[in-house]
Amino acid sequence: MKHSTFLQDTLNTHEVCDILGISRATLYRARKAGLLEPVRMGRFLRYEKKEIDRYIERLREENTSESVAA
């Protein structure tokens, strides 16, 4: 994968927080819990868009199963 293609397919911390509507602290907790796996580029962390999509899908599944159980 070319460097420019990789950067197009990844998001920085600020972008992920904006997309998910969460704070940096919440993103850090999700990362620490193993819910999101960043890619380190030097001293920067990037998140693959497909990783964010999987995280959103897991949240949807959890919300669906909770509403079915209620």
- Give residue 8's pLDDT band: very low, low, confident or very high (50, 70, 90): confident
- Classify domain 3-69 by CATH architecture: Orthogonal Bundle (1.10)
For tokens 């509403």, the residue is: 67
Question: What are the boundaries of each domain within the chain?
Answer: 3-69
Task: For 19-67, write each residue's pLDDT tens digit.
Answer: 999 999 999 999 999 999 999 989 999 999 999 999 999 999 988 876 6
CA distance 61 to 21: 18
| Statement: residue 1 has pLDDT above 60 | no
In 1-70, alpha helices (H): 3-8, 13-20, 24-32, 49-69
